[in-house]
Amino acid sequence: MSTEREIICIGCPIGCALTVTLSDGVVTGVTGNECGRGPAYARQECVRPERMVTALMYVPGASRPLSVKTAHPVPKDKINDCLEEIRRARPVLPVSIGRVVLDNVAGTGVPVVATCELTAPARVVITPLAAAVKPKPQSKAKGAATTMADKQDDRRCCADK
């Protein structure tokens, strides 16, 4: 039995609307394509669709998650399995860009690689405020008014004279 399927080609920004004819799961015809890449995409998409998987991975000791992606597209029906393995993985710091953080994800034969660098956060030493800030010595010349209270006191003294 033959069926028809409408899909959009993602081979380039034109986005041709393809009509794919399938017979017993086999692509027997493609129309609507502007170039030869359309039928190839239609066969891939209708018979064995694949997708790149991107995700964020938790890394113990890191201050932020690690951005990762599959090195190649994986079968669409394996996406959830890939995401579950990525969720459970615990790579070790430091991670360099392009490093394989998970091999053969979900049995697809495709590795997951880091798309950014991640290093251990710098150690921050917290010094108690009292020890870090020394009190300034009070050097006030005799008769000089430095605060509002002092100024008010001085004015009061002048009024009394």
Residue matched to tokens 């660098």: 117
Is residue 35 near ligand SF4 by the rule CB under 6 A? yes
Residue matched to tokens 């991670």: 95
Q: What is the DSSP string of 89-124?
A: --PPSPB-TT-EEESSGGGSS--EEESS-B-PPPP-
CB-nearer residue toward ligand SF4: 38 or 91: 38
Find the part of the chain contacting ligand SF4 (CB under 6 A) among 9-17, 112-120, 123-131, 137-145: 9-17
# binding residues, ligand SF4 (CB under 6 A): 11
Is residue 30 near ligand SF4 by the rule CB under 6 A? no
Give 3-state DSSP helix, strand, coil % of the chain, rounded to 5: 25, 25, 45
Among 2, 3, 4, 14, the residue binding ligand SF4 under the rule CB under 6 A is 14
| Nearest-angstrom CA–CA distance, 158 and 41 | 95
Distant-in-sequence, close-in-space partners of 87: CB < 8 Å, separation ≥ 6: 55, 57, 58
Beta-carbon count within 10 A of 106 CB: 21
Is residue 44 near ligand SF4 by the rule CB under 6 A? no
Applying the rule CB under 6 A, the residues between 78 and 117 that interact with ligand SF4 are: none
CB-nearer residue toward ligand SF4: 21 or 67: 21
| Nearest-angstrom CA–CA distance, 48 and 51 | 10
For the bound state, the minimum distance from the C-beta of residue 111 to ligand SF4, rounded and expressed in Å, comes to: 28
Find the part of the chain contacting ligand SF4 (CB under 6 A) among 14-22, 79-87, 95-103, 122-130: 14-22
CB-nearer residue toward ligand SF4: 8 or 56: 8
Binding site for ligand SF4 (CB under 6 A): 9, 11-12, 14-16, 33-35, 37-38
